Chain A
Amino acid sequence: MKHQRTLSIAAAAATLVALSACTGDAGGERVGRCTIADEFAAGTPVDATPSGEITFQTTALKASFSEYFTELIEDFEAAYPGTTVIWEDDPGDGSFATRLVADAQACSLADVVNMPLATAGGLREQGFLADLDAASPGIGADFIPSLWDSLVLPGDDHHYVLPWYWGLIGLQTYNTELMQRAGLDPEQPPTTFEELFDAADQVAERSNGEFSAFSASLGLRLPLEWQLQEAEVIADDGSAFVFADDPAVQEWTERMTRLALAGGIPKDSIASDDEPTALFTQGATVWGSPNASSLRYVQEGNPGVYEHVGVSSLLDRRGTAIAEVQTIGVPSTSTNPATAIAFARFLLAAEQQNRFISDPRIQNFPSTTESLGIPKLTDITGTAPIDEANRLAVELADEAEIVTIVQWSDAVANAVNAELQLALTGKKAPREALQAAQDAANRVIGADAR
């Protein structure tokens, strides 16, 4: 018995020693359990010669753009002998942020990561992203100035992510045939949200339930449609949401509710996360996505609807379009900072972006000023809806700004949308729902406890 007990204790001790070896302190500055690269911790330029292996993670691009990335990586490895880039592609579904958090916790983030700005805000807040202005001075010189200037995250004037391709919010796409059936003039599309809701009310009244104005799609509309109206969504210092008191937001919520209760919004779209494009492609709604890139799906999915698509701008009070950008970040925990920075610069260089954006399947914009001059964006001669949308978007691209509210996380969006859905289904008065939405959002970001 004694022998057995001794053996058990020895085995337990050996296990503990083995486990503790895994978490031993390797020295250096840390974020969570992970070590920050010395260069990033020091905040000095990374000027070592790139070499060795890095991992590069994109989001949902492997299926369509394998050839582009394979060539790009080969070119990079040829330009920097001795480097190897392992390409990974995340499906980019609803669990993307969760996976990224798990990777960060496990100190296994890729060396170069493609992510949305709001997610980047979370990682930066906790110290998981490298200060790129410090690591690579002048790294932003080639980007479109309005994009680059609006890419600083709250509470800092440095850049922790780089802009890649981006979409533009400030357009409207509509089905001219359905407009006419509702007694609207497709030649005079709405130019403000007030006019848009007036037209939508008319659709609800005259469509006899055969089609709707637009899908609810709150997850995609908010807070962008409030921002297009220059509503005050969050306090200047980012400490608390204040949208419930903004008259434009109140008006928007009341009119959205009135429209939904009048049957101008498909009931199924109130709780679902579906893109407005799906219903628009079916010919079930008058208005589609505010993003021109969706027109490719309409063209492929229903040519009959596509030939009746109209496109115009809807900038409301902002007067300039909003850029929704995909960003590139270099985690501070990268074990190969020199190669990671070099690859990020290579990936976003005008030459690479020209090639990427020139692909006819892409309806997004490049982030370098030089790339805005490629023939695909300057010599648009066609008259198809996609051409019209591109022509209009190019005009707006120069001044488009990133207005992403990084505090508008998935959790905030869910909290706000859940309350507004109650208004849209008639279970709560719009103002009451709006106040509840704001309270819930502030609970999520901890503003109620401050």
Chain B
Amino acid sequence: MTTAIHLNGAARYRPPWVPLLWCAPALLMITIWSVGPFVGTIALSFTDTSPLGMGGAFVGLDNYRSILQDPAFWSATGNSVLYAVIAVPLLVVLPLLLAQLVHTRLPGMGFFRSAYAAPIVASVVAVGLVWQNLLGEQGPVNTVLQRVGLIQQAVPFLSEGSLILLSAIALTVWRGLGWYLIFYLAALSNIPRELYEAAELDGAGPTRRFLTISVPGTRLTMLLVGLLAGIGSLRVFSEVYLLGGATGGPGGEARTLPFFIRDAALDPLTGNAGYGAAVSVALFTLTAVFAVLAQRFGGERDA
């Protein structure tokens, strides 16, 4: 009896600010390390501050006006959007198909689970170099395609802007397969096995079982994967840099928005951090629009 009275008393008399107190350290950290820099970036975008923090006169909307009139910005935005539009569906669907495959209890599947996970731990630089060799003019991909007679001349994977972009997308998708496969494996493990057995008894084949049980059962994971893949695609830099060089392909044709930010903002002599910050805000807006669309799309499908 005494214990119960004590517990009830504690709950009743706990001051209302106590939960806030428990959250305070986390809130303080988030404010300092996330909200602060974010607000700082927005403030910076209205100035002409140099990368070394010098100058910093208020220029109003000049940076935004400039980026909107800059063809290089629109080209980079187009590439980033194209990147996401191609990479995201592939990254949502392909890992699910692979997860379904390795989820099946077949002999030797352990090996494939590990194999798909390997790209996750490999550094993007190492992977980029391997792909550079694979896709080179004299590389194995061109050699094989030529030997089987599919092409007469080597495909310029690394010297043609649009092909560099597509190659980088392929690299991103390949690297992402293992990562998102793990998400899907976890989601598939949560689907009761009885559902598959019941469907099988009802005569549903593998395709029907996949479409009617696996896909609905992993819909939330698909939404999460789509969001993460979309955000990752809009922020892509290393893959394009490794395959297209420092210029982002001839004429910068494969440059993405992070490339544009680097060129505009970070050079110690010629950079304009304010301008770069304005592009960063534009990239954030694009990402936010993508996230809202993805959630709305996912929500409608759930409804």
Contact = CB atoms under 8 A, between A and B. Distances in A.
User: Do A and B come together as binding partners?
Assistant: yes
Interface of A: 3-4, 7-8, 11, 15, 19, 31-33, 94, 97-98, 100-101, 104-105, 118-119, 121-123, 125-128, 219, 266-268, 270-273, 284, 406-407, 409-415, 417-419, 421-422, 424-425, 427-428, 444-446
Given A267-B137, A411-B267, A421 B52 contact: no
B156 interface: yes
B244 to A, nearest CB: 6
Interface string B20-52: 100010001001100000000000000000111
Chief secondary structure at chain A's binding surface: helix
A426 B136 CA distance: 19
Contacts, number: 129
Interface of B: 15-17, 20, 24, 28, 31-32, 50-54, 132, 136-138, 154, 156, 158-160, 164, 241, 244-252, 262-264, 266-271
- Which 6 pairs across A and B sit closest by C-beta, in order of nearness? A122-B268, A122-B269, A421-B250, A32-B53, A411-B267, A418-B247
A232 to B, nearest CB: 20
Contacts of B28: 15
A206 B52 CA distance: 52
7 contacts: A32-B52, A33-B53, A104-B52, A126-B50, A271-B245, A273-B246, A411-B271
B265 to A, nearest CB: 9
B17 A7 contact: yes
A11 B24 contact: yes
B16 A268 contact: no
B164 to A, nearest CB: 7
A98 B250 contact: no
A406 B269 contact: yes
B40 to A, nearest CB: 12
Nearest to B251: A422
Contacts of A123: 52, 268
B247 A122 contact: no
Contact of A119 (B24, B137, B250, B268): B268
Given A219-B246, A273-B246, A105 B51 contact: yes
A414 B262 CA distance: 11
Contacts of A268: 136-137, 158-159
A410 B267 contact: yes
A421 B254 CA distance: 13
Contacts of A8: 20
Contacts of A104: 52-53, 268
Contact of B247 (A126, A414, A428): A414
Given A15-B28, A32-B53, A272-B158, A417 B267 contact: no
Nearest to B255: A418
Contacts of B271: 101, 411
A293 B137 CA distance: 28
A122 B267 contact: yes
A271 B244 contact: yes
B38 to A, nearest CB: 16
Contact of B268 (A127, A409, A424): A409
A19 B241 CA distance: 38
A424 B250 CA distance: 9
Most chain A beta carbons < 10 A, residue from B138, B164, B251, B252 = B251
